[in-house]
Chains A and B, each alone.
Chain A
Amino acid sequence: MKSLETAGGLIGRTVERVEDAGLLTGRGRYIDDLPVRRDTAHLAILRSPHGHAEIRAIDTTAASALPGVIAVMTGADVARLTRSMTVGVKANVECWPIARDRVRYVGEPVALVVAENRYVAEDALDLIEVDYETLAAIVDPEKALAADAPVLHPSLGTNLINERTFRYGDPETALAAAARRISIRIAYPRNACTPIETYGVIAEYDPGEDAYDVTANFQGPFSIHAVIARALNVPGNRMRLRTPPDSGGSFGIKQGVFPYVILAAVAARVAGRPVKWIEDRLEHLTASVSATNRVTTLEAAVAADGRITALCWDQLEDCGAHLRAPEPATLYRMHGNMTGAYAIENVAIRNRVVLTNKTPTGLNRGFGGPQIYFALERLIHKVADELGLDRLDIIRRNLVPADAFPYRTATGGLLDSGDYQTALDRACAEGGLEALRQRRDSARAEGRLYGIGYATVIEPSVSNMGYITTVLTPEERAKAGPKNGAQAVATVAIDPLGSVTVKVASVPQGQGHRTVLAQVVAERLGLPLASVRVNTELDTARDAWSIASGNYASRFAPAVAGAAALAADRIRARLAAIAASQLNVTADRISFRAGKLFDRENPDNAVSFGRVAAASHWAPDTLPEGTGQTIRETVFWTPDELQAPTATDGINSSLCHGFIFDFCGVEINRTTGQVRIDRYVTMHDCGRILHPGMVDGQVRGGFAQAVGAALYEEYAYGSDGSFLTGTLADYLIPTVMETPEPLILHQETPSPFTPLGAKGVGEGNCMSTPVCIANAVADALGVEDIRLPLSPSRVSEWLYGEECPPSKPQGPAPVATGASGERLLTGAGSADVVATRDSVWTMLLDPNTLKAIIPGAHEVRKVSDTHFRAEVTLGIGPVKGRYRADIRLSDMVAPEAVTLSGGTEGALGSGRGTGRVTLTETANGTRIEYRYEAAISGKVASVGGRLLDGAARVVIGQFFQALARHAGGGVRPSAAAGLIQQLSSLFGRRR
Chain B
Amino acid sequence: MPRMNAAQRHVVDFTLNGRNVRAQAENRMLLSDLLRHEIGLTGTHVGCEHGVCGACTVQIDGKPARACLTLAQQVRGSDVRTVEALSPDPAELSPLQAAFRRHYGLQCGFCTPGILMSLDALLREQPDAGMEDIREHLSGHLCRCTGYATIVEAALSAAEEQRKEEIPNA
Q: 5 A–B contact pairs at CB < 8 A?
A: A193-B144, A196-B110, A510-B110, A735-B139, A735-B141
Contact A30 B45 (CB under 8 A): yes
B79 within 8 A of A: no
A316 within 8 A of B: no
A705 within 8 A of B: yes
Output the least CB separation between B29 and chain A (Å): 7
**Contact among A248, A280, A509, A741 for B49, CB-based, below 8 A:** A280
Contact B141 A728 (CB under 8 A): no
Most buried by B among A16, A280, A736: A736
Which residues of A are in contact with B by a Cβ distance under 8 Å?
16-17, 19-21, 23-30, 32-33, 119, 193-198, 246-249, 251, 280-281, 509-512, 693-694, 696-697, 700-701, 703-705, 727-729, 733, 735-737, 739, 741, 878
Alpha-carbon separation in the docked complex, A247 to B101 (Å): 18
Alpha-carbon separation in the docked complex, A16 to B106 (Å): 11
- Given A33-B42, A510-B145, A733-B144, answer yes or no on A693-B108 (Cβ-Cβ < 8 Å): no
Contact A28 B109 (CB under 8 A): yes
**Contact among B42, B107, B148, B151 for A512, CB-based, below 8 A:** B107
Alpha-carbon separation in the docked complex, A282 to B53 (Å): 13
Which residues of B are in contact with A by a Cβ distance under 8 Å?
26, 28-29, 36, 41-50, 52-53, 55, 82-84, 86-87, 90, 93, 97, 100-102, 104, 106-113, 116, 135, 138-152
- Given A20-B101, A20-B106, answer yes or no on A25-B139 (Cβ-Cβ < 8 Å): no
Contact A24 B148 (CB under 8 A): no
Tell me the nearest residue of chain A to B55, going by C-beta: A196
Alpha-carbon separation in the docked complex, A512 to B104 (Å): 10
Q: What chain B residues lie within 8 Å of A197 (beta carbons)? A: 45, 47, 108, 110
Contact A196 B139 (CB under 8 A): no
Output the least CB separation between B82 and chain A (Å): 7
**Contact among A196, A512, A703, A737 for B144, CB-based, below 8 A:** A196
Most buried by A among B106, B107, B150: B107
Q: Knowing that A21-B93, A248-B108 are A-B contacts, what are 20 other residue pairs whose CB atoms are under 8 Å apart, sorted by A's residue number?
A: A16-B102, A20-B109, A23-B108, A26-B86, A27-B43, A32-B36, A32-B46, A195-B144, A196-B45, A196-B47, A196-B111, A246-B108, A246-B109, A249-B107, A701-B144, A727-B50, A735-B138, A735-B148, A736-B135, A736-B148
Contact A248 B110 (CB under 8 A): yes
Contact A26 B150 (CB under 8 A): no
Q: What chain A residues lie within 8 Å of B150 (beta carbons)? A: 697, 700
Q: What chain B residues lie within 8 Å of A25 (beta carbons)? A: 43, 83-84, 86-87, 90, 93, 97
Count CB-based A-B contacts (< 8 Å): 166
Contact A23 B106 (CB under 8 A): yes
- Given A24-B101, A25-B86, A119-B29, answer yes or no on A701-B146 (Cβ-Cβ < 8 Å): yes
Which 4 A/B pairs are nearest by Cβ-Cβ distance? A26-B43, A510-B108, A248-B110, A23-B109
Alpha-carbon separation in the docked complex, A846 to B136 (Å): 55
**Contact among B43, B53, B101, B113 for A728, CB-based, below 8 A:** B53
Q: What chain B residues lie within 8 Å of A733 (beta carbons)? A: 142, 144
Tell me the nearest residue of chain A to B91, going by C-beta: A21
Contact A16 B101 (CB under 8 A): yes
Contact B104 A704 (CB under 8 A): no
Q: What chain B residues lie within 8 Å of A705 (beta carbons)? A: 144
Alpha-carbon separation in the docked complex, A729 to B69 (Å): 15
Tell me the nearest residue of chain A to B29, going by C-beta: A119
Output the least CB separation between A202 and chain B (Å): 14
Q: What chain B residues lie within 8 Å of A249 (beta carbons)? A: 107-108, 110, 144-145
Contact B142 A195 (CB under 8 A): no
Contact B52 A511 (CB under 8 A): no
Contact A119 B26 (CB under 8 A): yes
Alpha-carbon separation in the docked complex, A524 to B56 (Å): 41
Alpha-carbon separation in the docked complex, A206 to B9 (Å): 34
Output the least CB separation between B48 and chain A (Å): 4
Tell me the nearest residue of chain B to A508, going by C-beta: B108
Contact B48 A727 (CB under 8 A): yes
Output the least CB separation between B105 and chain A (Å): 9
Output the least CB separation between B103 and chain A (Å): 9
Tell me the nearest residue of chain B to A284, going by C-beta: B48
Output the least CB separation between B27 and chain A (Å): 11
Contact B107 A701 (CB under 8 A): yes
Q: What chain A residues lie within 8 Å of B28 (beta carbons)? A: 119
Contact A736 B152 (CB under 8 A): yes
Q: What chain A residues lie within 8 Å of B152 (beta carbons)? A: 736
Tell me the nearest residue of chain A to B50, going by C-beta: A727
Output the least CB separation between B117 and chain A (Å): 10
Contact B93 A694 (CB under 8 A): no
Q: What chain A residues lie within 8 Å of B48 (beta carbons)? A: 281, 727-728
Contact A878 B50 (CB under 8 A): yes
Output the least CB separation between A253 and chain B (Å): 10
